[in-house]
Amino acid sequence: MKIALAQLNYHIGNFEKNISKILEKIEEAKNDSVDLIIFSEMSVCGYPPQDLLEKKSFIDQCEEAIEDIVSNTKNIAVIIGSPTVNNNPKGKKLYNSALFIHDGEIKFIQHKTLLPTYDIFDEYRYFEPNDKFSVVEFKGKKIAITICEDLWDEQPVNNAFARNQLYLVSPMEKLIEYKPDFVINIAASPFSYTKIWGRKNIFIRNAKKYKLPIFNVNQVGAQTELIFDGGSMVINSDGTIADELKLFTEDYKVYKLDDIKKKKLKKHLLEDPDVIAKIHDALILGVRDYFKKMNLTKATLGLSGGIDSAVTLVIASQALGHENIRVLLLPSKFSSDHSIADAIKLADNLGVRYDIINIQEVVNSFNESLQSIFKGLKQDITEENIQARARGTILMALSNKLGHILLNTSNKSESAVGYSTLYGDMAGGISVLGDVYKTDVYKLAQHINRDKEIIPLHSIQKPPSAELRPDQKDSDSLPDYEILDKILFEYIELQKQCEEITNDGWEKSLVERIINLVDSNEYKRYQAPPIIRISSKAFGAGRRIPLVAKFN
């Protein structure tokens, strides 16, 4: 049996585009004499469709798309993912399903059993869990079809309060009773640099446990904040990896079932220790797909000469092309000459058009207008925020007038502790670095400069500063980022409490201060733009904290 894996980049709700991609690969598979071609979870409509699943017209189009695919399956079998209607009058209206189609007929449908409702997932909101199990027979082989989580009933955890077994049933324990010859897993598993090996180990462990080869097809591409990295794989029955598809790009490969046992990949794509390179590629994919799928082409940002805007500009340039970016340099009386020079040098290095608008007159006019209200009060962070908001207003004016989408340049460290200004430097259509800690932003800059100097070295080497008052440095208000980021990681990603973090050797008063900053600035993050997710616990949909909570 010849089996093809089709790892494609789908667009949620763009049925014409999605079905065109699927049919194109089906024809390619026919030309390659493939017996069975496999597509990823929810391939018909794109994942995650969220509340579009509550629209009857959306489900109608899914069904029409399936009919189109069915009519093109002569002499080939196809596995696709799609929502299907639950005809039982009780329970949720839909299933998350895998359809086995052959010779113009839907021969078998396997519904998803384990519906994740953690982190960014909320599948039980829409789908009824499956409770019936069987295998499909094809060309003398019994095939167990699973959908993403169905093969992940036991998961790695990094939180002492969490469980690694979230479900009461194991689909594979049910399916193994039918003595399948191999397992197929169609998935939409998002990228996280903190879990690069986690997904792979799940497949290895299951292949060993059940002594069966596994064919996994994962979605690739970005859907707003979520990055799907692809990396589809074939695992031998002894747990060795026979092959992997590419990361962060579409891919297609054909395998002979009988040859799988003889194959062993010498180097695994995910074994590369350079996590920063993967974050870099994920961010580029995130920006590119956000613009492409929103039918946008041009971007802008405020280029300050600092590290965050520099890295954001390089990523945007690589994702969209330098000709599609126009940036603004917005100095005030506190901006240093070297910051302006660094910003100009970077723009020149990338061939990006820039304009310089001094904001001091605008800031002065704000201060003069507020003089009577603020009479007798000392200058404080209010005046600093006026500068940030003046910049945000000018950037949004360019965005409105010229149609350039504003990229937010805030990093995760600053967002975590509220070191950012609402309606100022928090403005933007999408946050590029909002899930990247400051220390990793520096590592990204070094990765970008690995072959030649693109980002001026001075931007990397100088102490970070918002330049909103004389001789200001981030360290005036915050611990050194090397310290801050480690404590933030333990509190946010590992979800440790103050006592646990203190037991790791950190001073209690420092830990308490940082935790208080994180908790007290939830209201700011609630108003932030979508953040491209590259970790296991990004701000946004995957981290839901009530704004009015009083809890230590």
pLDDT, tens digit (0-9, with 9 covering 90-100), for 148-178? 999 987 665 566 566 566 778 899 999 999 9
Q: What pLDDT is attached to residue 160?
A: 57
Q: Of 350, 279, 292, which Cα lies nearest the Cα of 320?
A: 292
Phi-psi region of 26 (alpha: psi -120 to 50; beta: other; left: phi over 0): alpha
Q: Domain end: 272, 293, 315, which one? A: 272
pLDDT tens column, 522-532 = 999 999 999 99
41 is catalytic: yes
The CATH number of whichever domain residue 406 belongs to comes to: 3.40.50.620
pLDDT at 203 over 90: yes
Q: With 70 as the cut, is the pLDDT of residue 520 above it?
A: yes
Answer yes or no: is 352 within a domain. yes
The pLDDT of residue 256: 95
Phi and psi at 360, nearest 5°, equal -60, -40
For 245-286, write each residue's pLDDT tens digit. 999 999 999 999 998 877 777 666 656 668 999 999 999 999
For residue 212, the model assigns a pLDDT of: 96
Average pLDDT over residues 489-509: 94
Tell whether 255 and 328 lie within a shared domain: no
Q: Is the pLDDT of residue 315 over 80?
A: yes
**φ, ψ at 257 (rounded to 5°):** -55, -40
What residue numbers bound the domain in which 414 lies? Answer: 277-478+521-526
Residues 134 and 249 in one domain: yes
Query: Number of folded domains in the chain?
Result: 2
pLDDT band at 474 (very low <50, low <70, confident <90, very high): confident
* Rounded percentage of the chain residues whose pLDDT exceeds 70: 96
Number of separate helices (H) and strands (E) present in the chain:
16, 19
pLDDT at 76 over 60: yes
Whether the Cβ atoms of residue 236 and residue 263 lie closer than 8 Å to each other: yes
- Asked, for residue 314, whether it belongs to a domain, the answer is yes
**pLDDT of res. 274:** 87
pLDDT of residue 272: 61
Q: Residue 357: phi, psi to the nearest 5?
A: -125, 115
Task: Verify whether residue 62 is a known catalytic residue.
Answer: no
pTM of the model: 0.94
Element at 222 (helix H, strand E): strand 220-223
d(CA 519, CA 93): 38
Looking at residue 289, what is its pLDDT? 98
Residue 462: what are its φ and ψ, rounded to 5°? -75, 155
CB count in 10 Å sphere of residue 47: 25
Predicted pLDDT at 271: 62
CB burial of residue 71 (10 Å; 0-12, 13-18, 19+): exposed
Return the number of other C-beta atoms located less than 10 Å from residue 328's C-beta: 22
Query: Which phi and psi angles does 438 have, rounded to 5°?
Result: -55, -40
Indicate if 443 and 313 belong to the same structural domain.
yes
- Is pLDDT at 298 greater than 70 in this prediction? yes
Rounded distance, CA 530 to CA 380, Å? 30
* pLDDT, average across residues 22-44: 98
Q: Is 551 part of any domain? A: no
Both 230 and 321 in one domain: the answer is no
337, 222: one domain: no
Does the residue 306 lie in any domain?
yes
Q: What span, in angstroms and rounded, lies between the C-alpha atoms of 47 and 57?
A: 17
Shared-domain flag, residues 61 and 209: yes
Residue 119: give its domain's CATH number. 3.60.110.10
The catalytic position among 112, 200, 278, 496 is 112
- Asked if residue 329 and residue 255 are part of one domain, the reply reads no
Contact assessment for residue 101 and residue 70, using Cβ atoms and an 8 Å cutoff: yes
Which one of 2, 25, 41, 384 is the catalytic residue?
A: 41
With respect to residue 508, please indicate whether it lies within any of the assigned structural domains: no
pLDDT recorded at residue 197: 80
Residue pair 129/114 in contact by the 8 Å Cβ criterion: yes
Asked if 334 and 474 sit in the same domain, the reply is yes
Arithmetic mean of pLDDT, 406-425: 96
312 shares its domain with 208:
no
What is the Cα–Cα distance from 198 to 106, expressed in whole angstroms? 34
- Of 45, 62, 123, 148, catalytic: 148
> Of 227, 256, 272, which residue is a domain's last?
272
State the chain's mean pLDDT as an integer.
94
Among residues 272, 299, 316, the one where a domain terminates is 272
**Residues 256, 302: one domain?**
no
Is position 498 annotated as part of the catalytic site?
A: no
Domain assignment of residue 544, yes or no: no
Please check the confidence at residue 105 and state whether its pLDDT lies above 70.
Answer: yes
In a domain, 489, yes or no: no
Q: Mean pLDDT over residues 11-25, rounded?
A: 98
Do 53 and 109 lie in one domain? The reply is yes
Residue type, 240: T
- Yes or no: say if 329 and 356 are a contact pair by the CB < 8 Å rule: yes
